[in-house]
Amino acid sequence: MRIRFGIFYSKQQDRDIVMSSVINVTVEVFKYNNIVSLRRMPSLTLLKQFISNVVNDLLHRTNVSLLRTLLVAPGLIEQYNVRYTEKWVRRIDENFLDYNIGIRPRLNVPLIPPPRNLKYLSEKFFSGDVSGTIAESLFIYLLDELGIDINLVGHLRPLKKKTAFLPDFIIWDDSHAVRLLISSSNYQPPAYAEVKGSTSNIDPNRLIKAVLQLNKLLTKPGDCGIVFFAFKNLQNLNYEALVLEVIT
């Protein structure tokens, strides 16, 4: 129970007050200006150097273009969650608002000290499954905003090919809207997309992993893919996203 201006609020009421002030959340989506050419990066060392440059450019807002600013309606993101994401996580709209604000509920901590060398957990951790589902929902949100026919988008089964999982999504749309994501003149549908999510800054190692997952299916000229990475900018504490175009 909290007191605000002489009025008593329950924890749920206090949360609802916070939520009402952020019922629409903006997510800036940036596209990297350079294309990842797998043919030109035959070694992992070259790929690591390229990804290091990508992360550095994104942090300094150089060599990136603002693709779209999404005004995310929580109710709509829940619809995308139900129809398109891999994991069955209910009410991703509420989770998205919680994760965007950074709410981590406190746990009960007994007054009795724990045994030696042990510590109580005082706050919940953010869930990787929830973070990933938020990212996948935001990706579909972006596609719909760009005018891509999301009825031509499907989530692939999480199969493993040799040592890496295959990408998340397949996109069959060949309309002009797809060209906002894929600029290659050799593009032939379908396109593949790997989606990553994080509650902290963008992780170069996971970005590398995403490119390697696309590499499993991009095998011939004209094959194209997209990496979509949704993350929390720890400077302004907002969700942002990066789109990386990948070709053979």
In 198-237, where do the E strands start and end? 224-233
Mean pLDDT (the chain) is 83
Does 91 fall in a domain? Answer: yes
Q: How far apart are CA 27 and CA 241, in angstroms?
A: 7
CA distances from 179 to 123, 176, 196 (A): 44, 5, 22
Residue 137 lies in a domain: yes
Lowest mean pLDDT of 47-51, 144-148, 236-240, name the range: 236-240
Whether residue 15 is contained in a domain is answered as: no
Instruction: Specify if 231 maps to a domain.
Output: yes
What phi and psi values does residue 7 have, to the nearest 5 degrees?
-110, 135
Q: Is residue 8 part of a domain?
A: no
Share of the chain above pLDDT 90, in %: 41
Task: Please provide residue 10's backbone torsions phi and psi, each rounded to the nearest 5 degrees.
Answer: -75, 170
pLDDT digits (tens, 9 = 90+) for 124-133: 888 777 888 8
Q: Is the peptide bond before 190 cis (omega within 30 degrees of 0)?
A: yes
pLDDT tens by residue, 74-124: 888 888 888 988 877 888 788 887 777 777 888 899 999 999 999 988 888
37-41, 97-101, 208-212, 228-232: least confident range: 97-101
Alpha carbon distance 25, 233 (integer Å) = 14
Say yes or no to pLDDT of 20 above 80: no
Residue 6, judged by CB atoms within 10 A of its CB (0-12, 13-18, 19+), counts as: exposed
- With respect to residue 4, please indicate whether it lies within any of the assigned structural domains: no
> Any idea of the CA torsion for 201, 124, 165, 202, to the nearest 10 degrees?
0
Is 10 within the bounds of a domain? no
- Percent of all residues in the chain with a pLDDT value above 70, rounded to a whole number: 88
Whether 116 maps to a domain, the answer reads no
The boundaries of the domain holding residue 203 are 25-103+124-247
**pLDDT tens per residue, range 48-78:** 999 999 999 998 999 999 999 999 888 888 8
**Quick check: 139 pLDDT over 60?**
yes
**pLDDT tens-place string over residues 149-183:** 999 999 998 776 556 678 889 999 999 999 999 98
Query: Cα-flanking dihedrals φ and ψ of residue 150, to 5°?
Result: -75, -5
Q: Directed axis angle between helix 204-215 and helix 44-59, to 10°?
A: 130
**How many domains in the chain?**
1
